[in-house]
Structures are given as C-alpha cells and as structure tokens.
Structure 1
Amino acid sequence: MAATASTSSSSNPFPFPSRRPPDDTLFYAVYPLPLPTKLPAPALVATLQSLHLTLLSHLGPFLSSHLFHRDPFTLSLPSDPAAPCALCASPPVPHLHGALRFGDSLPDEWLAASLLFALTRAFPDIAARAWDSDGEFLLIEAAFALPRWLDPESAPNRVFIFRGELHILPPSLFPETPSLEAALAAVHDDSIDTRAPDAVQAAIQRRIAGLPERAAENLHTARINVPAPVAKVLKEEPCLIARAVEGFYDRDIDTMKHAARMEKFLKGPSGEGVEMVRTSVRMTRAMYAQLVQQNFQAPRGYPMPRREEGPEKWMEAELGMKIACGFEMMYQERRRQGEEGKGSTWEIYRKTLEATGCFKGLLPGSEEYKRVMENAMQYYKSSTLYSRTREILSEPVRRIDEILSMPYSAEEFKGVDLPPSDDESWLYGGEGELNAELRERQKELEEYEAAKKHRKSQKQSVSGSSKSQADQFKLGEITESMQDFVRNMSSFEGAEVPANRREMKSVDLDVNQFFKAMESVFGGSSREQAGSDDGFDRKSSSSDMDFDDSDEENAFDEELDDKDMGDSFMDSYSDALNKELSSTTLEKSFARAPRTGTIDEGPSNAAATDGEMTPVDVDLNLVESILNSYSSQQGLPGPASNLLGLMGVKVPPDGKKS
C-alpha cells in the first residue's frame, strides 16, 4: 500500500485539493428504495434515468415558472453510478444528486429543502438527504428539540427525508456510524421506527410551511429601460437575470473594463448603436436589493434620461443600466474564462499549489516559476475538471449568442402592456419581520430552558425521595426480619413469611385475668403457694421436704457435671476446628466481630495462638450477603428483593448507579 501511495503521488506532482463545500451551496441526493444495487450497469442507468424524468416531470410546472437567486433546482445522474460520488462524498450507491448555489438568498435553501420533502411525499419509495457547509442544516433548525446523543460527530448517515418527514436513525439501532446502504434499508423498513420526534418535525415544518406554493412571495417585479439585446435575452431566458446580477454584484476592476466598453449589448452586429426599450423583469428580492442598494455610475456613452424627466423614469433607466452592465461583464468574463478553461476552480487550484510548496523558493516571473506554472496548467487542462469548467462557463455565453443570432427588433417590445412594479416597502420596512423572527427564536429558547429546568427539578425530586428513603432505612431491620422468618413456624409446606412488623398491633396482657385462668387449671393453692414462697424457711421444713430437696440437689449437681463435660468437649472441638480452618482462606470470607480483650479462663484458651479465629459476626454477614445480592439485581426482580419485600423491608436504590 505504501508503494502504491508513493507511486501515485510521484505521478501526480500537482494534486487537486480536497475542497471544502462552498458556504452558499446546498447539496442533496435522492435514493430509490429499495436500492437497485444488484442490477447490471445498463439496467441501473435506465432505472435512474426513468426516475430522473419522473421527478423532473413532477416538479416541471413549478420549476418552469419560478426564479432562483443563483442556480435553479436540478437533479442529475452521477457520471458513473458504479463509482464513488465526488459530489456527495459517498460510496457507489445508486442515486440522483444536485447542488444549488443560493448565494445571499437563504429562502432558496429552504425552498429546495421543501421540494425534497414534497418529492418524498409524492413518491413513497424514494428517500433524500440534504446538507451544506454547516453539515445537517435541518438539525440546526431543530436544535432545541434534538435528543442529547445527536451531535455533528454522530449525525453522518443518520438523517434522511422519507415520505415527507424527517427520519433519524437512533443509536439503539446503530451504535456506530451506519453505512449508507444499511441506513437506507432501515429507513425503508416499516417495522423499524426511525421517524424523528414530533418536536423536531414541528420545528422543520414551521420553516417550510407553505412552500413551495408561497415561494412567489420572495420575488419582485420591476419595470426597466434597457438596450434591445438585453430585453431579447430576458424575454427568451428569464433565468439569466441571475447571472447578470451576479456579474454586477461581484464585479472587480478587471470586469468593469468590459462595462466601460459595452461591446456586446450596446452595439449591434455591425457596430451600430441599439435602441432602448421598456420591459419588465422578475427577480428575487435579494437580487433587487443588490442592484438598488449599490451606487454605480453609468458608463460613458450609455444613454440615460435626465433626472428632470421624473423619478420613475430615472429609476427604471438606472435599474436597467445596472442590469445591462451586469450582462456585459458576465458575458465577456465567462467567454474569456471559457476559452482559457479557467475560472474560480483554476484560482483555487493555483492557490492550493502555492500553499503546498510547489513554487517554494521561486521568484514570481522567473523562468523556473513560469515553467512550473506551465506544467501545472497543462496538468489542469488534462483533467476532467477543466472540460467541465469550460462547459459550465461557456453555457450562458452560448445561449446568449443563440438568442441574439435570431432576428429581432425593438418594435416587438413597443406597445406591450407591462405589469406595474411591485411595492418595495419590504426593502425598508423589514424591522417588524425581523423582530417577529427574533421573538419566535426567543420563545423557542424559553421553552427549551423551561423544559430543561423541569427535568432538573424532577431529577432533584427523585434524588430527594431516594435520600429520605435511605435516611429512614435501618440495616437492623434486615436482621430482625430474618430472625423472625427463621423462628416462625414451618412445616413440610414451607415457612410462613412474618407479617410486616410496622403493621403488627401490640399485645395487651391482663395479668389478673391470666392468673385466674392459671388457677382454674392448677387449682386454688397455686397462688397461695406462690405467695408464701417469699418467706419460705428451709430450716423449719419437714423431713420429707428435706429429703426431697437433697434429691433435687444431687440431681442438679449431676446435671452440672454433665453440662461441664459437654462444654469442655465443645470447647476442645471448637479449638481443633478453628486451628484446622486457620490455615485456609475461609477466615477471610466472613466479617468478624472485633476483639474485646483476652480471656484467661477455660481450657480452650490454654492453647490459644496469635492466629486464633475471632468470632463471626452473623448479623453483619447476613446483611452484607443480602445487600450484595440485591445490588447484583441492578434494579430487576430477584430473590433478595422478593424476600425483603415479603418481610416488609424496603431497601433504597443504589446511590452509586443513580
């Protein structure tokens, strides 16, 4: 691989730059679903061509009557459907694509987005996506409603327009960035819910509401006074007004030289002068603002009326003069660039070569500098970018030449009923619209902050209740409940779970009634004998009583001797068992009670050593075992929670996992 890379770089001394998307361009792609990836190349091209014609036919009525600020909305096939797409920067996935320069007219970007929503709504088996230099601009519009996991790093191949709605692939479906094929398959699968939340849908729909039907509100009609060739071009190709305004607005010193001469649009084919005519032109509001708001002196020799003839006539002539100069500058500059095959792409290419050090150490104008520049130019002309640039630059020039080659005269523009110029108060009274937009954004921000504060208060409430529950909880309840459970009556059917001690009622004992019941069982002398026991004197007792006492004492002594022998055996057995277990790890598996001191009595301590095992704290080990089992359940049902619940013990949630 390294060898291949080095060979490639050595064979390409003037590499083309990886261009960043222009700031004023919207890119979009349309995908047929399911993807026809298994079709052979001819069938795939035919499928895409059929889809292309179908979509453009659907949009035809609107596109034929609407005017865009820079470029019109178009769709085209990739040059090679089986190869990666350079425009979309995507793998070889069957699709149609397009790029729309909207310039300073941001409404055109949203108009194009609305067309994509309309297409996917009209054709349920296609999906689309759109992006610009900022990335997923649809998500930016719905920023306050987006899920927290969605950010620019996680958004690639997750956002699509499908069936007139926005779809976002969640991380539960694709933890990592999905491939484009897998993402489109998931969007098309009806069993998978990829529809974006309602709040996101509402934010997008607010922006495209009424589009494309409402797009005409962004257009402005004006009457102008222009040379007849300009009027003829506008009559045949109204969309070329965008190129003329662009040429006027982006003018520089070099292009203004063309406007000073006006060789194309102010002179006839034989060099004679042309007649001025009155016509009407429609443009976007952004175009109109770019023309009106700039001061521009008419070139020498350009026919302009006197200001005394009236402000209306002067405004029509001045606006027409700017448009005519824009046509002249655009035509001459594009013709020159088309012949040379240069343009903005060549300038970017040249600046990139300078930045990469191709001309390092070379003095501009020197022989070596010219040689390297000539080699770079030859390499540029051999690329497909050169031919494509020439075609794009020459297209308006060829079309203008075709129109002006047809016979025409100024008479066809006379006596025509022209529509009146639109009111231009919007140009100066946009403060109310701006304030309304700011209020809408402020409202969105306030709603977002309120929702955020509500979530925070809910979280604090939950943590507070957990804390109070933890404060009320006592570990002793576990041991007490377990002891009650062990001591409770059991049989072959199992043990009975003790009732909740908090709900148990206290027992009332009537002592007098208790003794009366005892007397009825044992006889009436029981209480009297019990009362005389306090003053009983063994010396005044009868011989029978003495005999009985001696027998009882002998029996008691024998019982003590037996008990001492049993205790001695248990102590010895316990010492032997502890000594044997002290060499194992069993001691470390139990929590033990701390030593309270050294006991000197008893035979079991005579052989005590430093390694003697301390007593096991049964209650502590019980609590630790139950709590460890409860924690391992991770909030799910399990034996520990079931047992504690039956015993009426509520354990607070694990604070480390909340």
Structure 2
Amino acid sequence: MEADKDEFRGFEDGFNGFPKRLPDDCVEYSLFVIDARLKSQRELLSRLEAVRKEAVKLAESLLKDYIWQRDGFKLEVENSKGLMYLHGLTNYGDAVDDEWLVVYLLRELSNRYSDLWIRVVDVDGEFLLIEAANALPRWLNPEIADHRVWIHANDLRIIPLSAAPTTSSAKETAPVSRSLSLDEAHKTIASNPGILIHSPLIEAEAFYRLQNYPSQITASLHYATITIPRKLAYILHGRAASIAPATEAFYLRDPIALKPLQSISSNLVFPPEDHVTISVRFTKVLYAQLKSQQFSPPIAWKAKLAEAEENSSSTDLKQKRYPQLEMGMKVTSGFEMLITDPKNRDKHIVREIKLLLDDLDTDEEDLPTDEEISRWEDVAREDDEKWLDINFEDFERELAGNPQEKKPSIPGAFGPESPPGFGDAKTQADLKKMVERFESFLNDNEAGIDGAEMDEMDFDDDEGDSEEDSEDEDKDVSFDENEFARMMREMMGLPSDEDGVVRSDTEGRPATTISNTHRIEELGSDEDEVDEEANEIQKLMLGMERELNEAGALNLDPTPNKVSTLGGKTPAAEASNKDENWEDESDGENVDIDFNLAKNLLESFKSQAGMPGPGSNLMGLMGMQLPRDEDEHHISKPT
C-alpha cells in the first residue's frame, strides 16, 4: 500500500498536459531550417516561407492528376516551444501509398535546401526505422528512437547515443539511453551536425518503398468508363478529386447515410436519368473499394438496372454496359450520401459541390452536351483491370519462397487462361520483400531460445531496482544444457550420449546412481578442472534421484514394488527383490508414497481419454502398457 502511495504523486510536480498522440492513419512531418547565419526570427520566417512555396510548386508539378485518399500534402508555419518550423499532417486513410508519397516529396524537398532538416512520423512512431528493422544496430530500439531520425540532403541521418543532450546536467557525461526531446535533438543538430550517423544499409531499407517513384504516382491511378447522370458528369469534370470523399462515403456508409436512397418519395440530388458514359479517374485503392462492395441498388435505380440488363442484345454488350451502369450506380450513390449526410456539411469539397449545383439551379451554368463531353480529355480512356486478378497458386508459391516454380497453364481446361502472377508488379515486389524479411528473421542464428534478443534498455525502468537486488544471486547460477540432458537421460533409463548404453549394476543399485556417484567422486578429486557450479548441480541431481528411488519412481521393472503396493507379494516378486537386494519396506508410509504415485499416474493417463500424452509416454518408458479406460474408476487406498 505504501508503494502505491509513493507511485501516485498527483499534480504535485505540475501538470504538463496529456501525452500527445497522432490520430490513426495519419503522417506528421516537421521541417526545420537550421542555419547559424540566420540571426533573427524575421530571417528564419522568410526562409521557411521560401521552403513552403517551393514545396507547393513541387507538389503541383508531380501531382497534377493525383487524387489523395483523404488529405493532401500541406505545410504551415508553426511556432512551438521556442522553435519556428513548418508543420504538416496528412490523413491517408486506407491508402498507404499516400503516406509514402509524402515521404518522397519531403525527401525531394530536402535535396533542394542544404539547411533543411526534416522529421516524419506516424501513429507507430519512427516508421522509417520500422522499415529498416533488419539493418538497425542493437542499441537503436523503439524506446530511445524518438527525435533521433532525420532526413537531410536526401539522406537518412540518425543521432547516436554519443551525442549527449545539451540540456542535460553537467553530471550526465555518459551516453544517455533514452529518447531525446525535440529541443535536445534540434540543439544537437545545430551544434554538431557531423556527429549524426549516415548508414547506406539502413537508408536503403528505410526508403525501399520509394524506389519506384516518381513513376509510382502515375501507376497508382486507374481510369474506368462508367455510366452516370449528366449532372454528376458535370461535377466530376469540374472537381475530379471529389471522387475520393464520395467513394469513402459509399465505402463507410451507415443507416443514416443510406436513408435518402431507401425512401421512395425522396428527391435525389442525382436522379437516375439522362445518363452519359465517361471515363473517371480513380486511384487503385478507390476503385478497388468500389468494385469489391456488394451493394443492393437503391429503389430508384432498380428499374434502370433491370432495363439495361434486358436491352443488352448480346452477351458481349451485356458484359460491358451493365458493369458500367452498376459502377456508375455505386459512384452516384456515394455522391448522394456525401452531400445529404449532415456530418459532411462542413467539408470543403461538399461546399464546392453545392456551389456548382446552385449554379445549375439558377441557370448560371448549363449542363454539358454530348458534343462538349466528347471533347473532354481522356473521356473514353479505360485501363486494364488485370491488377485486380489474383492467381492464388502463384500467390502461395511466393509466400513459400518459390517464385520460379511456375506450372504451365492449360488454356481452355478450366475456362480462359489465368493471368500469370498476382496483382501488379509493385504488389509482387512488396510480397517478396515481406517473405525475405520473414525468412531472415527465422534464420537468425543469433536469436536465443526465446526469439528476439532483449537489451537492458528493452525493460521498463520500474524493474531496474528488483534486477539490481538479485544481480548477485544471478551471478552464482549457471546452467550446463548438455550435462543436464545427459543426467536426465540416465535417470529415465535411456542410453547416455557418452556411454551409448546404460552400465550394469553389479551391486544391485541403479546404474544411474553408480554413474552419478562416480562423477561426484571425480568432481571431488579434481576441483581445479571442474567448475564449482557444476558440482552443485550434480549434488542436487543426485539428491533428486535418491528421493525418486525411495519413492520407486525410477524402478524400470514394475512387478515387485507395484504388486506389493497394490496388496500382497507373489513368489516371483519376493525372489526378484531378494536377488537385487531391494529392501521391501511394507510400513504404511512407504505404501502411501507408492499409492499416491500410482494414483497420479493413472489419473494422468485417464485424463488423456485414449489419446497420446505425458502419462502414457512416461509409463511406456517404465515398461507399462495400460488399456483404454472406458468406465469411471476410483482408486481406493488399500487397507
């Protein structure tokens, strides 16, 4: 109770606020200009503004047609804890590629300014180190990694332990095995940037996902032709990025959002009429979210879909037009839910869409004609969907680490020939990398029996006191696996690795007793060659063996003692005991010991319900074969 009182101190040391935590699926980035030539805050602010403008130009040049899943790349000047820097936060949702696109932009930006230092983290912390986990030194673990990882001049830099925090007390001269604060990291870089570590191996692993950029930006897009109302085609032409929030509204729909679509009397914003077929730009994540959803058509769309299915004169026409209309129904429903759901009323994109709709209602704008639509850029573009197809045989071979074992496909045997591989090239490359890392983990010969090795800093500080108290005790304990295994084999009556067979006992005692006694004598006669710890273990094992012998647990011939224990002696048992000089102690105490042992063994065997288990294995080693126990039996103590 006293310890609990000491641990809880309330607010006696002051309240510094609750710990900051990023929202899920968010990446946070901070950009610092560290230049000793900037003497005033005004000069620093001017430099930061120049970096921000360059970042905007870079994003516009690389991301002209790109569609962000939720939030885009943005930077704002922030002044916190005496430091002025650029800060940004991007919510990438289910599109992990958006997170790595942010890292790529930041890395490219760092290459344009020699005084720019960038830190990027997500909800998992220093995720660049997580990517490079296989290449990290042992000292660099999550407990001390905060504020140590920076991007500078297109390189990955790490603040080492030898960089003592400048805000530490003078007494703290040794390397500090803990995380740094932002102020400590900033001062370390400003005072001694050359001390930071640059490891090409760590950098290659950390930036592995960036190797396909900038081509990956275009490769992540997908164009598909869909059939939608003309009014919605007008909206998409003017605000192509609105497809992302509309898809998310459809993908994360709830009963409240679906209510306007399920009502017959409801006035839809985009009624299923005056349809046009156009090409819409998605990201592959957005298209997959729409394509994979099983969605019952709204009441107003059911007749339209049924009519399209009936009017398809040929199978080829049906396979093309109906999916276009079905995908258009999903997109239109997503926009309907996005605009009508009250929780979206304050979103910037929703306000823009409503302004465009107001212009149509007031006749300030007219809907585009078919001729105008035909002149739109990429109006009929349609990309292949093979990246959605998965050959599960190839997928399993990749997981098994055998990508070269390709089985020849037989066209026409089970329909059309299945496409080789699975997904796109990036998906296959990511899976191969995952398999390689997993195999590297399994083949790590330096790992102990418990798996990953743990450093002293991997444990909580609260456990330090108890570990220090028991440190002296732990130093006196050692364990020899081979010696212990050899003695246990001999105690079980199995051949030892040294002897090959169990030695016979000419004096009537178990061979293990003679063997262990002989070794104890050798230990006593030559203490200079044998460690004292091994001697103690030998004595301990000999004592355990003596107690087990007294209980009859090590008797490999169950006939003499087991018969006498269960009541009565046979002539064969008496002769056997006489020949082997076993003393037949029939007092009540010894009978109780044997009875308890037999009862425990039988209960263990009974609990196996006829299946293999420790009880049957142990009795098999003792030369006993018991039948299955079909009925309930209770062992009664003999009188």
- TM class, shorter-chain normalised? 0.5 to 0.7
How far residue 238 of structure 1 moved from its aligned partner, in angstroms, is 1.0
Change (3 A) 1:164 1:410: same
Query: Are the equivalent residues in 2 in contact too, given 1:275–1:410 (CA < 8 A)?
Result: no
Aligned counterpart, 1:54: 54
Q: Deviations over 1:377-429 (max 9, x none)?
A: xxxxxxxxxxxxxxxx3312211122222503140554346233211111122
Change (3 A) 1:166 1:325: same
Distance 2:373 2:344 in 1: 35
Change (3 A) 1:191 1:440: closer
Distance 1:18 1:257 in 2: 40
Please list, as runs of the form range in 1=range in 2, the aligned pairs for 1:54-133 lying within 5 A after superposition.
Answer: 54-78=54-78, 81=79, 84=80, 91-133=81-123
Distance 1:330 1:338 in 2: 6
Aligned counterpart, 2:321: 313
How far residue 210 of structure 1 moved from its aligned partner, in angstroms, is 2.3
Please tell me the residue identity of whatever aligns with 2:293: Q
Aligned counterpart, 1:423: 384
Q: Deviations over 1:278-319 (max 9, x none)?
A: 211111111111101111122122343522421211111111
Name whichever of 304-313 and 221-230 sits farther off: 304-313
**TM-score, normalised relative to structure 2:** 0.54
Please list, as runs of the form range in 1=range in 2, the aligned pairs for 1:491-502 lying within 5 A after superposition.
Answer: none
Change (3 A) 1:235 1:188: farther
Please list, as runs of the form range in 1=range in 2, the aligned pairs for 1:240-259 lying within 5 A after superposition.
Answer: 240-259=242-261
How far residue 191 of structure 1 moved from its aligned partner, in angstroms, is 5.9
Q: What SS does structure 2 have at the residue aligned with 1:130?
A: strand
Change (3 A) 1:328 1:92: farther
Please tell me the residue identity of whatever aligns with 1:72: G
Change (3 A) 1:284 1:189: farther
Aligned counterpart, 2:161: 171
Please list, as runs of the form range in 1=range in 2, the aligned pairs for 1:93-242 lying within 5 A after superposition.
Answer: 93-174=83-164, 175-176=175-176, 177-187=179-189, 192-242=194-244
1:265 aligns with 2:265: no
Distance 1:193 1:48 in 2: 25
1:337 aligns with 2:330: no
Query: Are the equivalent residues in 1 in contact too, given 2:29–2:89 (CA < 8 A)?
Result: yes
Please tell me the residue identity of whatever aligns with 1:441: M
Query: Are the equivalent residues in 2 in contact too, given 1:230–1:265 (CA < 8 A)?
Result: no
Aligned counterpart, 1:407: 365
Structure with bigger helix share is 1
Change (3 A) 1:45 1:5: farther
Query: Are the equivalent residues in 1 in contact too, given 2:144–2:180 (CA < 8 A)?
Result: no
Query: Are the equivalent residues in 1 in contact too, given 2:228–2:332 (CA < 8 A)?
Result: yes
Change (3 A) 1:319 1:184: same
How far residue 39 of structure 1 moved from its aligned partner, in angstroms, is 3.0
Distance 2:344 2:207 in 1: 42
Distance 2:116 2:63 in 1: 20
Aligned counterpart, 1:397: 350
Distance 2:117 2:18 in 1: 31
Please tell me the residue identity of whatever aligns with 1:152: P
Distance 1:278 1:215 in 2: 26
Q: Of 441, 451, 460, which residue of structure 1 is paired with 2:434?
A: 441
Distance 1:36 1:330 in 2: 50
Q: What SS does structure 2 have at the residue aligned with 1:94?
A: strand
Please list, as runs of the form range in 1=range in 2, the aligned pairs for 1:182-581 lying within 5 A after superposition.
Answer: 182-187=184-189, 192-260=194-262, 263=267, 265-266=269-270, 275-302=274-301, 303-304=304-305, 305-308=307-310, 309=312, 310-333=318-341, 336-337=342-343, 393-404=346-357, 405=359, 407-411=365-369, 413-416=372-375, 418-429=379-390, 431=395, 432=421, 436-446=429-439, 453=446
How far residue 128 of structure 1 moved from its aligned partner, in angstroms, is 1.1
- Bigger relative contact order, structure 1 or 2, given CA contacts below 8 A and separation 6+? 1
How far residue 448 of structure 1 moved from its aligned partner, in angstroms, is 6.3
Query: Are the equivalent residues in 1 in contact too, given 2:230–2:275 (CA < 8 A)?
Result: yes
How far residue 188 of structure 1 moved from its aligned partner, in angstroms, is 5.7
How far residue 337 of structure 1 moved from its aligned partner, in angstroms, is 3.1
Q: What SS does structure 2 have at the residue aligned with 1:301?
A: helix
How far residue 209 of structure 1 moved from its aligned partner, in angstroms, is 0.3
Q: What SS does structure 2 have at the residue aligned with 1:192?
A: helix
Change (3 A) 1:157 1:415: closer
How far residue 44 of structure 1 moved from its aligned partner, in angstroms, is 5.3
Query: Are the equivalent residues in 1 in contact too, given 2:235–2:356 (CA < 8 A)?
Result: yes
Q: Deviations over 1:532-569 (max 9, x none)?
A: xxxxxxxxxxxxxxxxxxxxxxxxxxxxxxxxxxxxxx
Distance 1:170 1:17 in 2: 28
Query: Are the equivalent residues in 1 in contact too, given 2:28–2:120 (CA < 8 A)?
Result: yes
Distance 2:446 2:161 in 1: 26
- Gaps (5+ residues) in structure 1? 10-15, 85-90, 268-272, 340-392, 456-658
Query: Are the equivalent residues in 2 in contact too, given 1:68–1:242 (CA < 8 A)?
Result: yes
Percent of matched pairs sharing the same residue: 30
Change (3 A) 1:5 1:451: closer
Q: What SS does structure 1 have at the residue aligned with 2:300?
A: coil
Please tell me the residue identity of whatever aligns with 1:160: W
Distance 1:403 1:57 in 2: 27
Distance 1:251 1:287 in 2: 15
Query: Are the equivalent residues in 1 in contact too, given 2:163–2:195 (CA < 8 A)?
Result: no
Aligned counterpart, 2:455: none
Distance 2:145 2:157 in 1: 12
Distance 1:58 1:143 in 2: 30
How far residue 71 of structure 1 moved from its aligned partner, in angstroms, is 2.0
How far residue 115 of structure 1 moved from its aligned partner, in angstroms, is 1.3
Distance 2:334 2:223 in 1: 18
Larger Rg: 1
Q: What SS does structure 1 have at the residue aligned with 2:35?
A: coil
Distance 1:443 1:454 in 2: 17
Change (3 A) 1:5 1:443: closer
Query: Are the equivalent residues in 2 in contact too, given 1:144–1:445 (CA < 8 A)?
Result: no
How far residue 275 of structure 1 moved from its aligned partner, in angstroms, is 2.1
How far residue 264 of structure 1 moved from its aligned partner, in angstroms, is 5.3
Please tell me the residue identity of whatever aligns with 2:388: L
Please tell me the residue identity of whatever aligns with 1:65: D
Q: Deviations over 1:585-636 (max 9, x none)?
A: xxxxxxxxxxxxxxxxxxxxxxxxxxxxxxxxxxxxxxxxxxxxxxxxxxxx
Change (3 A) 1:171 1:331: same
Aligned positions, number: 376
Distance 2:308 2:344 in 1: 39
Distance 1:137 1:152 in 2: 10
Please tell me the residue identity of whatever aligns with 2:297: A
How far residue 95 of structure 1 moved from its aligned partner, in angstroms, is 1.4
- Gaps (5+ residues) in structure 2? 1-9, 165-174, 313-317, 396-420, 449-639
Change (3 A) 1:158 1:313: same
